[in-house]
Structures are given as C-alpha cells and as structure tokens.
Amino acid sequence: MELREMSDDACIAFLASHTFGHLASMGEQYPYVVPVHYAYDSRKVFLFSMPGQKVDQLRIIPFACLQVEEMEKDKMWKSVLVQGRFDELPDIPARRNERLHAWSLLEKRPFWWEPGSFELSAGEDGDSGSPIFFSLSIDVISGRQVEHRA
C-alpha cells in the first residue's frame, strides 16, 4: 500500500462527487466538529443549518475546515481537506440569488437537510428559528489517499 498526495483536480473531483463530511470551526476553547451534508459548485461548498452553536461560532471566527473521506476495502481510503471562510447567505434581496443557488444545489442531494435541521430536544416544542444557508470558500484544498500497489 502506498500513501499519496492527491492533485488539486483530484481533490475537487472527489469533493464534487460526495455529499457528506465533517465541518470544523473554532469554538470558545476547543475546536468544534459536526457532521454535515454539503454541495460543491465553483470553488465553494454550500451548507445548511438551523441556528445554533456551529453558526454562532462561525459568525465570530469565520474560518473553517471541511473534511470528506471515503473508506474502501482492505485499508484503502481517500481524504480531502478544505480550508476556507464562512459566508452566510441571508434571506435578503441582495443575497437572494446566492441563497436560491445554494438551496437548488443542496436539494438535489439525498437527506440534505440532515443533520442541519435537527436540534436537541428539551421535551418542549419551540421556534428554532429560520434555516441558515452558507458557503465555505475553498482557500486551500489538499488530499491524501492510500492505494493498493500492484
């Protein structure tokens, strides 16, 4: 088996062909990592969330990282890491087209609203707020893979 760096083009192709990863942001004291569904288009990753800790932290420190992986048989894997900047797509006229574009990309993916639409249950029904669409720019992308050597 051989560990290899993936080219930028291979990383983008991998990112575009997947829909699930882990988003990391800076927390108050520790990094914060959550599972997310995403869609890729034009050097951006588009995501959806309900209000909560993830979005609150990204609004304060807008730098984030998305990790996407694929595990294959016999210890073969690929992993791509995107580092970039959070950009909220609010429901305002000036950002409406971007927000609709994000929604149109995400809704093509199975279960795109999960886990972003889930919230912790406190046993009471309440208004959890409006959905939040945002993008993560691709400032840095890198990937590694382990392949079986013939």
Domain that holds residue 46: 2-110+130-147
Three-state DSSP class for residue 139: coil
Asked, for residue 63, whether it belongs to a domain, the answer is: yes
Encode pLDDT of 108-117 as tens digits: 866 655 554 4
CATH of residue 32's domain is 2.30.110.10
pLDDT greater at residue 145 or residue 131:
145
**Looking at the 3D structure of the chain, how many domains does it have?**
1
Encode pLDDT of 69-93 as tens digits: 999 877 899 999 999 999 999 989 9
Residue of 119, 89, 114 whose CA lies nearest to 103:
89
pTM value surpassing 0.85: no
How is residue 125 written in tokens?
């029904």
Confirm if 73 and 129 have CB atoms less than 8 A apart.
no
Tabulate helix, strand, coil % of the chain (nearest 5): 20, 40, 40
Asked, for residue 81, whether it belongs to a domain, the answer is: yes
